[in-house]
Amino acid sequence: MEKWQEEMAAIRAAMAENMKGFAELRELQKKSSEEADKRLEKLDKLVGGISKNNGLYAEQFFKEALEETKTFAGVKFEKFMPNLKYEKKETCEFDIVMVNGNSVAIIEVKSRIHPSLVEELATTKLTKFRKYFTEYAKYKVYLGVAGFSFDDTVIEKAKEFGVGVIRQHGKTIEMNADALKSY
């Protein structure tokens, strides 16, 4: 019986050592996970900052180009309103709005244009514009997206919704408004 008790004591000691090792391993995993989380958070801020800077650069480029000409799809506008906002119960912002006596152009600007932006502009954003800027209720509204790069299907989506496309062309811009419609 003495041998059996010695073996049990050895097993208990080994189990206690294993439990201690597992606890140390869990603590190391926790520290490693916390360090990884901190690195990911820092990387997220860095990438987010780059993305924001690209977006701001795109907005500045297209705002300057359109403010100079105040023309969209062959229509001349008198008033140029960058970052037109509505802030009450709900908030919405339009990157570029140009107005003349009977027409409004709403241009959304992004560094890279995706098809979903075209659809969102022609549905959700247009609805909000009509709802919150009632002084333009009887105006024709023309829609456009402006960006440095485009998803392959943007042109098709723009034609589907009658939205103009504005691209950088060297130091100037070029417009594709073949299927443009007024809302």
Q: What is the per-residue pLDDT for 138?
A: 95
Report whether pLDDT(28) > 90. Answer: no
Query: Which CATH number does the domain 61-176 belong to among 3.90.580.10, 3.40.1350.10, 3.30.70.100, 3.30.590.20?
Result: 3.40.1350.10
Domain ranges in the chain?
Answer: 61-176
DSSP 14-73: HHHHHHHHHHHHHHHHHHHHHHHHHHHHHHHHHHHHHHHHHHHHHHHHHHHHHHHH-EET
Digit-coded pLDDT (tens) for 112-139: 999 999 999 999 999 999 999 999 999 9
In sequence order, the 6+-apart residues with CB closer than 8 A to the CB of 148 are: 58, 61, 111, 112, 167, 168
The reported pTM is: 0.71
What is the rounded distance in angstroms from the CA atom of residue 82 to the CA atom of residue 98? 8
Round the average pLDDT of the chain to a whole number and report it.
84
